[in-house]
Amino acid sequence: MDAGNGKLVLQSKNVCVVGGGMAGLAAARELRREGHAVTVMEQSGDVGGQWLYDPRTDGADPLGAVVPVRVPSSIYACLRLISPREAMGFSDFQFLPREGDDHDPRRFPGHREVHSYLREFCDAFGLMDAVRFNTRVLRVAAAAAPVTSTAGQWAVRSVRHPGGGTDDDAAHEVVEEVFDAVVVATGHYSQPMLPSGIEGMEEWSRRQLHGHSYRTPEPFRGETVVVVGCGDSGKDIALDLCRVAREVHLAANAFSMEEATTPAMSRVLANHGEVLRLHPRICRLHAEGRVEFADGSSVVADSLIYCTGYRYSFPFLDTGGAVTVEDEVVGPLFEHVFPPSLAPSLSFVGVPRKILVPWFFETQAKWVAQVLSGRRALPPEEEMLRAVEEHYRAREAAGVPRKLTHNIGGVEPLKMYEFGEKYCDFAPLEEWKKELIVSSILSMKDDAETFRDHTDDSEKVQKGLRAWRGLAARPQDG
Ligand SMILES: Cc1cc2nc3c(=O)[nH]c(=O)nc-3n(C[C@H](O)[C@H](O)[C@H](O)COP(=O)(O)OP(=O)(O)OC[C@H]3O[C@@H](n4cnc5c(N)ncnc54)[C@H](O)[C@@H]3O)c2cc1C
């Protein structure tokens, strides 16, 4: 590492990044910047991950019970961002509004704008040639057992679907290659999570699907639809359906109507009361189509759409039990990135939930790249394990459910901002952006339907915005 003259000699590794979404692209950029050779394997025919809208669905498996799902993106046609674009850019390639028919300059643009921004990011930094498209990773395992920390190499088995099809892997040629390190960046918004505790799901004979397979309201025209879950997707999809459905019933994850009727929800109901109804959680589905809610009310529905979230799933990863997924905890992972016994040759970018992206992905990716090059060192394995245990204990003591182990922003928002300074000298996020994020979240809580089209920026935010917009006049890809 030391060339003998006190200068640090950085090591260059041959790294495989699994996934070409925002996290994988952030990883590819930072790994290259640090001098590593990078191969990104992406099962789709383009970059962008979730933001690559796909009109196809996992049609034969509408509940997403098969692992892995065949269509990675869960984005529906009407989707607009819930986070302001001003805070959603890479640090040296901001998500500036562009004019022109192909662009959507709004603060909370539609999904296509995010996808075209990610493509432009790749073009600006020459990342496209690092990506192998239509290439699904089937297995990542130690190249020689047992894999040991630091020196371990990884065998990556993949299959290429030349036409980008979602057909059987067995029909195509499988290849296996060895890499010095693997960065897992496969996201966690593809594999549906279904609710437990609803009796009769298997007997219910009418249409049931997960929000992962919802694209447009048209197939539900004239129907009575029950949407399960009042999160961001549940609300979006229920409102989208209101345009064509006969009735839309939204089932909250609450035991009573008092609990379900938040101020924001009351506002939505007031605007769509003729079509939209709110209910507490579903307790039972009856074979003939009746849906029974916790307060004893019921409705006969044509379709049920579960907007009940997504779960972590790494079906290709074989670590011999060193990394597991249990109760929505991927672990053990030191700071949600490095499995202590396999670090740094195996790492994860993008595990945390409720974080600012791609900014936080960039932070994680810089850290991984710098540890692999030797610019930075990790603590000893035992110390990393102790830190993971301490994180679990602290969360438990604070009464945070275990399934929120990787939820950073919703539980300890400031931690997200400390990470870059602590591990990779990444410049802190500007204060005006932090303020804009908080005010956007508050206005979304206040009015989930129209918050995207109002701005009420403070002086500080307006000043930051003026400087930010000025960047549009200067090239960013320096
Ligand atoms: C409906 C919806 C709305 C959202 N809205 C917002 C929002 O408003 N603001 C926000 O910040 N975030 C939002 N998100 C979260 C969004 O997912 C993140 O912004 C971001 O896209 C996550 O990036 P990622 O790279 O971690 O994962 P992904 O975007 O999921 O990318 C993972 C990539 O890995 C690939 N992959 C997976 N397995 C394999 C394999 N075995 N082999 C090869 N490739 C593989 C996939 O094809 C995919 O391209 C939303 C998500 C959803 C589903």
**What's the pLDDT band for 221 if we cut at 50, 70, 90?**
very high
Choose one of 158, 189, 362 to mutate for the ligand 1 pocket test, by most ligand atoms within 8 angstroms of C-beta.
189
Closest CA to 344 of 156, 186, 154, 177: 154
Ligand 1 center from residue 66 Cα (angstroms): 18
* Cα 428 off chain centre by: 22
* pLDDT reading at 303 higher than 90: yes
Give the pLDDT of residue 46: 97
Ligand 1 center from residue 23 Cα (angstroms): 8
* pLDDT reading at 2 higher than 70: no
For residues 95 and 85, the answer to whether their CB atoms sit within 8 Å is yes
Residue 270: C-alpha distances to residues 252, 263, 266, 281, 285 (Å) = 17, 11, 6, 20, 28
pLDDT, mean of residues 3-9: 75
Ligand 1 close to Cβ of residue 130 (< 6 A): no
Please give the structure tokens belonging to residue 225.
């639809």
Ligand 1, atom 21: closest residue by C-alpha: 50
Ligand 1 center from residue 250 Cα (angstroms): 25
Q: Percentage of the chain surpassing pLDDT 70? A: 95
Ligand 1, atom 48: closest residue by C-alpha: 49
Ligand 1 center from residue 120 Cα (angstroms): 17
Ligand 1 close to Cβ of residue 81 (< 6 A): yes
pLDDT, mean of residues 51-59: 95
Ligand 1 close to Cβ of residue 137 (< 6 A): yes
* pLDDT reading at 351 higher than 70: yes
Which atom of ligand 1 is nearest the CA belonging to 187? 27
Ligand 1 center from residue 119 Cα (angstroms): 15
Ligand 1 close to Cβ of residue 187 (< 6 A): yes
Ligand 1 close to Cβ of residue 109 (< 6 A): no
* pLDDT reading at 259 higher than 90: no
pLDDT, mean of residues 379-384: 98
Average pLDDT of every residue of the chain = 93
* pLDDT reading at 473 higher than 70: no
* Reduced 3-state DSSP string for the chain: CECCCCCECCCCCEEEEECCCHHHHHHHHHHHHCCCEEEEECCCCCCCHHHCCCCCCCCCCCCCCCCCCCCCCCCCCCCECCCCHHHCCECCECCCCCCCCCCCCCCCCEHHHHHHHHHHHHHHCCCHHHEECCEEEEEEEECCCCCCCCCCCEEEEEEECCCCCCCCHHHCCEEEEEECEEEECCCCCCCECCCCCCECCCCCCCEEEEHHHCCCCHHHCCCEEEEECCCHHHHHHHHHHCCCCCEEEEECCCCCHHHHCCHHHHHHHHHHCCCEEEECCEEEECCCCEEEECCCCEEECCEEEECCCECCCCCCEECCCCCEEECCEEECCECCCECHHHCCCEEECCCCECCCCCHHHHHHHHHHHHHHHCCCCCCCHHHHHHHHHHHHHHHHHCCCCHHHCCECCCCCHHHHHHHHHHHHCCCCCCHHHHHHHHHHHHHHHHCCCCHHHCCCCCHHHHHHHHHHHHHHHCCCCC
Q: Could you give the angle at which helices 263-272 and 431-446 cross, rounded to 10 degrees?
A: 60
Which atom of ligand 1 is nearest the CA belonging to 24? 25
Q: Which of 58-67, 72-81, 331-340 has the lowest mean pLDDT?
A: 58-67
Ligand 1, atom 6: closest residue by C-alpha: 81
**What's the pLDDT band for 478 if we cut at 50, 70, 90?**
very low
Please give the structure tokens belonging to residue 395.
């969360």
Ligand 1 center from residue 73 Cα (angstroms): 7
Task: Sheet containing 14-18: give its strands across.
Answer: 131-132, 37-41, 14-18, 181-184, 346-348
Give the pLDDT of residue 1: 52
Ligand 1 center from residue 186 Cα (angstroms): 7
Ligand 1, atom 1: closest residue by C-alpha: 75
Ligand 1 close to Cβ of residue 84 (< 6 A): no
* pLDDT reading at 472 higher than 90: no
Which atom of ligand 1 is nearest the CA belonging to 190? 30
pLDDT per position as a tens digit, 440-453: 999 998 888 889 99
Ligand 1 center from residue 24 Cα (angstroms): 10
Ligand 1 close to Cβ of residue 213 (< 6 A): no
Ligand 1 close to Cβ of residue 44 (< 6 A): yes
Parallel, antiparallel, or unpaired: how do β-strands 131-132 and 37-41 relate? Answer: parallel
**Domains of the chain, earliest start first:** 14-190+310-424 (3.50.50.60), 207-306 (3.50.50.60)
Distance CA 53, CA 57 (A): 10
Give the pLDDT of residue 294: 93
pLDDT, mean of residues 267-291: 94
Closest CA to 416 of 14, 83, 112: 83
* pLDDT reading at 147 higher than 60: no
Ligand 1 close to Cβ of residue 362 (< 6 A): no
Ligand 1, atom 45: closest residue by C-alpha: 19
Ligand 1 close to Cβ of residue 429 (< 6 A): no
**What's the pLDDT band for 171 if we cut at 50, 70, 90?**
confident
**What's the pLDDT band for 146 if we cut at 50, 70, 90?**
low
Which atom of ligand 1 is nearest the CA belonging to 108? 8
Q: Percentage of the chain surpassing pLDDT 90? A: 80
Choose one of 186, 239, 308, 348 to mutate for the ligand 1 pocket test, by most ligand atoms within 8 angstroms of C-beta.
186
